[in-house]
Structure 1
Amino acid sequence: MTDPMPVIDAHAHCGILDRSWPQSIEAYAQQLAETDIGGAALFSPVMEIYDRYDESFVDTPAWRRRRKESNAYLLSLETAGLTVYPYFFIWNDFAVQQLSPAHCGIKWHRHAGEPAYRYDDPGCRSALDEIRRRHLPVVLEEEFDHTVRFIRELADGITVIIPHLGMLNGGFPAIAASGLWAQENVWADTALASPDEVREYLRRYDHRRLMFGSDFPFGDPYAELQKVRSLQLDPDVEAAVVGGNFLRLQACVSHR
């Protein structure tokens, strides 16, 4: 008998430097107690990477040390019953020299009113070349115009995951109207998206590039997983969304 496909949370935050939310690995593990989640893609919290409340934020050696410590923390995590897939949270120093063979992807994140990525910096292009070489997927949470530019101009040959079914990237309808969802290199996760948007995505774009995510600590892993399961999908489709697609994507990552 074939073992069931493991359930993987493709979108969770975990750290110990930012204490504004209970987001340690212990806090996350506690929330998994009533689930069958067996693995998680973990990202550093934003406030461990840059000051999101200072639009004119100027980087400093102290912030660079903080980022390095935060990203390294995810590499150190070992928790019984949970496979950790650490993602590297990149910022404007584009420090891809810190990438480890253990990194499974990239987190690229900002919201409106926050410090901006320097997309025209030569270091950005160099970083994307390294990300492309390693076949690392990028979880891109950005304003709509930057999302479109990133995918159409910068990310050729890179898998881009738009989280929350686009909720914070301009919204599901705007991403759909732009044609991005139809691109083969553009994936999505279900974190905090409405059941209706999950259904609509599946109806229009199939299930091959959609992954379950919780957005812990902002979303509850149990509730977010139940949201997907309440859709009563075909068993093969559900298995792909809650774990199989993530593992298929990870199989492409070069750990060199």
Structure 2
Amino acid sequence: MIIDAHCHVWPDEIARRVLADRPVGLDPVHDGTLSGLLKTLDASGIDMALTLAVANVGRTVWRTNEFIGTVDRTRFIPFGTVHPDLSVEENLRALKENGVVGVKLHPLFQEVAFADERTRDILVGLAENDVPVLSHVGSGGGEAENRRGAPRDLHDMVAEIPGLRLIAAHYGGYQVLEEAEKWAVGTDIHLETSWPPSMGTLPRERVLDIIRRHGADRVVFGSDWPMTDPATEIAAIRDLGLTSEEEAGVLGGNLVRLLGLDLPTT
């Protein structure tokens, strides 16, 4: 079982506009649509994917969750959006009434900061309702955006919210791996492996050391589709030198356990 924990999707016409702007200065590899993602999963031998949808402003939270709540649940696991412009209750209702099972936070594109009390209030509500969260952590934007997603603030936030099921993308610190090693590795969170344009640009020995120090059973595979090619990222995981048990866990088993997925036995 292989599950990609990090796949951004948009309605077809919006995907074209978003990707034309080269998010985070990267050239997309795929088209960002649900149909395009399904083709990629089949071509890469991936069984399922977390489909991530993010509302940059509060007024689009409902329709964003409405869109992501319609995905095919046999292949996709819908992770939707919240925003501090809305109350905790409004955010929770937009998730529940659209059947969205998890949340994606993106400090680079949303007014979401780990040190912001409004963000923490929402995350307390998510933790109390056992809603898992995957968040971008680290850099990739301007100074203000990078500060919103700083690994140190993530560390402090997680310590204050017991029971939060949080997955920190990009090993807990995109483009700031030293900060990630100091503030995210070894904490009570799961780390996710994406590092566009490719995880293969990181030193293999350093990645393996991070995974082992954090605990391979608390690391999950993510590609950051459509900005990377998942098949290439899977190959990079398999090239790390993990044991077969560790590799199986990272590529899917750990996420199945974390999310409590009820999958058919083959």
TM-score between the two structures when normalised by the length of structure 2: 0.75
Structure 2 partner of 1:98 = 94
- Residue 156 (structure 1) aligned to one of 137, 156, 162: 162
Structure 1 partner of 2:240 = 231
- Mark the CA change 1:133 to 1:88 in structure 2 (over 3 Å): closer, same or farther: same
- Mark the CA change 1:43 to 1:206 in structure 2 (over 3 Å): closer, same or farther: same
Structure 2 partner of 1:53 = none
Q: Which runs of 5+ in 2 are unaligned?
A: 20-30, 137-148
Determine whether 1:176 maps to 2:181.
Answer: yes
Q: Give the Cα separation in 2 of the matches to 1:125 and 1:143.
A: 14
Q: Give the Cα separation in 1 of the matches to 2:76 and 2:163.
A: 25
- Mark the CA change 1:147 to 1:23 in structure 2 (over 3 Å): closer, same or farther: same
Q: Give the Cα separation in 2 of the matches to 1:130 and 1:13.
A: 24
RCO higher in 1 or 2 (8 Å CA, sep ≥ 6)? 1
Q: Give the Cα separation in 1 of the matches to 2:76 and 2:249.
A: 19
Q: Which runs of 5+ in 1 are unaligned?
A: 1-5, 51-58
- Mark the CA change 1:197 to 1:100 in structure 2 (over 3 Å): closer, same or farther: farther
Q: Give the Cα separation in 1 of the matches to 2:128 and 2:112.
A: 25
Report if aligned partners of 1:190, 1:198 keep a CA contact under 8 Å in 2: no
Q: Give the Cα separation in 1 of the matches to 2:125 and 2:186.
A: 25
- Residue 217 (structure 2) aligned to one of 191, 203, 208: 208
- Residue 154 (structure 2) aligned to one of 147, 150, 159: 147
The structure 1 segments of at least 4 consecutive aligned residues displaced by more than 4 Å after TM superposition are none
Structure 1 partner of 2:39 = 30
- The size of the alignment, in residue pairs, is 224
- Residue 221 (structure 1) aligned to one of 226, 230, 236: 230
* 1:31-50 residue CA offsets vs partner (Å, 9 max, x unmatched): 22322201111111x4xx11
Report if aligned partners of 1:104, 1:250 keep a CA contact under 8 Å in 2: no
After superposition, the CA RMSD in angstroms is 2.5
Q: Give the Cα separation in 2 of the matches to 1:114 and 1:172.
A: 22
More helix by share: 2
How many percent identity over aligned positions? 22
